[in-house]
Amino acid sequence: MQLTDEDVAQSEFPALTARYDLVLAHRMEHSEPWPDQGVRSLTLIREPLDVAVSTAHRLADRANLTPADVAGERWVTSRIGYSPDDVLRAVSAVARHPVDIQHRINDYGAVSAVVAAGGVIGMLPRFTSRSVDDRDIVRIPLEGVSTHRMIDLLARPETLRRRSVRVVVEALRGVMTRLSEDGS
């Protein structure tokens, strides 16, 4: 087995199936589904993105947050076209307030570290970024906007017929199940 990480926007995931047997892809739950011409999609998990604040932040003790609570904050988020930025755009629209983006980073470990240092808040996936050191941050659910992303496997139909590929699919399903049980 060989693993490769390509940092691409949502629209570019399906084309990767021409080069790779399996593509681990994500999209916001409310976005267009993956194309079904020549590509099969297998959902692994529905994952919420949470607001991340430093443990010293004034919102750190809240059980949940709304767009109005966070729209006026300073943010670190992903590049445009990625799930955290999609949620942040919805926050801005619902709160009717522009968001103040201080920096764009496409690495959850780096986002966590910048948030922990204080001065900004961010968005982190609830399950799949748990290996990030969470000692100095608090994750808080965001209500009032859709924050769920779908993590799917994309593959060509003929690829899914191979036993070796099906074994990897089942292993990934098991990993996602464990991550969601541990992070709930």
CATH of the domain at 53: 3.40.190.10
d(CA 59, CA 92) in angstroms, rounded, equals: 18
Q: What is the pLDDT of residue 183?
A: 66
| Cα 80 off chain centre by | 13
**Cβ atoms within 10 Å, residue 102:** 15
Write out the residue range of the structural domain in which residue 158 sits. 10-46+150-183
CA distances from 113 to 37, 39, 95, 118, 155 (A): 41, 37, 27, 9, 34
Q: What pLDDT does residue 11 have?
A: 86
Pairing of strands 74-77, 100-104: parallel
Claim to verify: residue 106 and residue 63 sit in the same structural domain? yes
Half-sphere exposure at residue 174, Cβ-oriented, CA atoms within 13 angstroms = 6
Per-residue model confidence as pLDDT tens digits over 109-140: 999 999 999 999 999 999 988 766 678 999 99
Give yes or no: residues 28 and 71 share one domain. Answer: no
Distances (CA, A) of 127 to 82, 94, 101, 180, 181: 17, 25, 24, 6, 9
pLDDT score, position 132: 60
Same domain, 129 and 70: yes
Least Cα distance to 145 among 98, 184, 96, 87 occurs for 87
State whether 58 and 80 are in the same domain: yes
- Both 127 and 177 in one domain: the answer is no
Host H or E run for residue 103: strand 100-104
